[in-house]
Amino acid sequence: MSSTTTFQLLTADGRALKAVLKKHKARRKRKAFLLVTPLLAFVIVGFCLPILDMLRRSTNNHIVEKTLPRTVLALKEWDAGGTTLPNEPAFASLAQDLVIAQHHRRATQLGQRLNYEFSGLASLFRRSGRHMEELVNEVRSTRGSYKETLIAFDARWGETDSWRVLKRFSDTLVADYYWAALDMRRDLRSNEVSLRPSKERIYLRLFGRTVVISLGITLATLLLGFPLALWIARLPSGQGNLLLVMVLLPFWTSLLVRTTSWIVLLQQQGVINDLLVAVGILSEEGRLRMIYNTTGTVIAMTHILLPFMVLPLYSVMKTISPSYMRAAVSLGAHPISAFWKVYFPSTVPGIGAGAIMVFILSIGYYITPELVGGRTGVFISNRIAYHISSSLNWGLAAALGVALLGFVIAIYWLYDKIVGIDNIRLG
């Protein structure tokens, strides 16, 4: 043992070989890092930062403290679980805060934010902001009470619930968007979080539906894509390439065009139904409903995502030597059993890659379900889009996005546990 520690390999010019190698390796590493820097920067700016921003938005709630700082302080002592209204100083602070907020055009913004939690606060803040200066002047000139004046101005200031919302959302960090994203609700009075009754649930149901339909689409692309990939892989390369181009051809057409073509084909007065009625398979009244429901979403998305299944399958199948099958058969296996026991297991990495790709792409899909999904074929992403562009509740949209991201990571983890992530190959 001791002899190995004292013995050192040297280079020709007498330096320690180990150190020279290390230096050389470090330089190569630096070079390699320099080469990936552009990509790294791109990933950080285009991917990591947006995700961090999404995380921040889903919990950030500075607006109340920023807009109504005095009120937040004045409400510190007030018990939101009780039934009494806050005292006069709280009302006075609110009046002062609102005058300043209105000056900076922030009162209505706060109203919009709080309206997500409690309907009616948008108009209460808009109205109050607009008139608060007059009200304050009135109180000052008559030496009256802010409490009475505000309640006389709008009875909603006399309701404890309005004040409870202010108190509950004084925190700068809240989990309420996540409660909402999971169909839960925080009781304003007791501050307890509970699941909504099943009749009122939206998001859990949508998450569930998104997963089930996406699994269906993955299965459908596998069933359609496997024989196709097998066929292409066995053709001579000239014909095989031609077929591959045909698989890729839909990629060159706009997604919207492909989706609307499915509407033309599948609707009740569409090509397929017309044909079936014309040949007498269906009666005029018995036209099939194949679109604006789950069926429509599955058909259109299977078509759109099929190449993502065929390509990895094809490239994996291409590497499987045909001699394996021949060997199995020559050793006495039935062709079906040879296929099942020898060929099929070798394609599993391709199936894994294709399935994960199709599944993850489809749970985030939104345009196609929006156009052909009707009522029962829409996904969670359609609700996220709604909250981004219509309700403008970006906090909730972010929380739903984080939930979806967490879900995808969970799927990935599960896949790794069951199949093993090393067992994925794209070729």
Partner 1 sequence: MSRNLFVALAAVLALGLSACKDDKASMEAKPAELVVVSWGGAYSASQQSAYHTPYMEKYPQVTIVNDDSSNEAVPKLRAMNEAGNVTWDLVDVVAADAIRACDDGLALEIDVDDTLAKAPDGTKASADFGDLLVSPCFIPQIVYSTTFGYRTDLVKEPMTDLCDIFDLARFPGKRSLEKQPINNLEWALLCDGVDADDIYNVLGTKEGVERALKKLDTIKSEIIWWSKGAETPQRLADGEVVAGSTYNGRLFSLIEEKKQPVAMLWDWQIFDLDGWIVPKGISDEQLEAVKHYLYFATDTQRLADQAKYISYGPARSSSAPLVGKHADLGIDMAPHMPTDPNNAKNVLLFNFDFWGDKRDEIDEQFQAWLSR
Residues shown for the chain: 427
Give the per-residue contact string, 165-204, with partner 1 (x = CB under 8 A; - = no). ----------------------------------xxxx--
Q: Which is nearer to partner 1, 212 or 223 (CB)?
A: 212
**E strands, 281-381, where?**
none
Give the per-residue contact string, 97-136, with partner 1 (x = CB under 8 A; - = no). --------xx-xx-xx--xx--xxxxx--x----------
- As measured in angstroms, the least distance from the Cβ of 368 to partner 1 is 13
When binding is defined by CB under 8 A, the residue of 67, 160, 267, 297 that contacts partner 1 is 267
- As measured in angstroms, the least distance from the Cβ of 198 to partner 1 is 9
CA atoms within 13 A on the CB side of 203: 23
Rounded to 5 degrees, φ, ψ at 226 are -60, -55
- As measured in angstroms, the least distance from the Cβ of 209 to partner 1 is 8
- As measured in angstroms, the least distance from the Cβ of 202 to partner 1 is 5
Q: How far apart are CA 3 and CA 310, in angstroms?
A: 59
Site for partner 1 in 338-377 (CB under 8 A): 370, 374-376
Q: How far apart are CA 99 and CA 131, in angstroms?
A: 9
- Token readout for 145 is 């009470």
Q: Which is nearer to partner 1, 230 or 367 (CB)?
A: 367
- As measured in angstroms, the least distance from the Cβ of 393 to partner 1 is 7
Cβ atoms of 247 and 228 within 8 Å: the answer is yes
Q: Which part of the chain contacts partner 1 (CB under 8 A), choosing from 2-10, 212-220, 320-328, 382-390?
A: 382-390
Q: Which is nearer to partner 1, 227 or 286 (CB)?
A: 286
Q: Which is nearer to partner 1, 359 or 386 (CB)?
A: 386
Neighbours of 17 (CB within 10 A): 12
Q: Nearest CA to 397 among 389, 108, 377?
A: 389
Binding flag, residue 392, partner 1 (CB under 8 A): yes
Q: Which is nearer to partner 1, 131 or 318 (CB)?
A: 131
Chain CA centroid to CA 238, Å: 41
Q: How far apart are CA 265 and CA 400, in angstroms?
A: 34
- As measured in angstroms, the least distance from the Cβ of 105 to partner 1 is 5
- Token readout for 231 is 């066929």
The three-class DSSP label of residue 16 is strand
- As measured in angstroms, the least distance from the Cβ of 172 to partner 1 is 18
Q: Nearest CA to 93 among 115, 75, 106?
A: 75
- As measured in angstroms, the least distance from the Cβ of 235 to partner 1 is 40
CA 148, 153, 158: angle at the middle one, nearest 5? 55
Give the per-residue contact string, 197-236, with partner 1 (x = CB under 8 A; - = no). --xxxx--xx--x---------------------------
- As measured in angstroms, the least distance from the Cβ of 293 to partner 1 is 10
Q: How far apart are CA 180 and CA 303, in angstroms?
A: 34
Neighbours of 246 (CB within 10 A): 10
Q: Which is nearer to partner 1, 55 or 348 (CB)?
A: 55
Element (H, E) at 195: strand 193-195
Name 240's Cβ contacts closer than 8 Å, sequence gap at least 6. 232, 233
Q: Nearest CA to 259 among 390, 388, 361, 365?
A: 365
Q: Which is nearer to partner 1, 367 or 408 (CB)?
A: 367
Site for partner 1 in 277-306 (CB under 8 A): 292
- The site for partner 1, by CB under 8 A, has a size of 36
Q: Which residues bind partner 1 (CB under 8 A)?
A: 105-106, 108-109, 111-112, 115-116, 119-123, 126, 199-202, 205-206, 209, 267-270, 292, 370, 374-376, 383, 388-389, 391-393
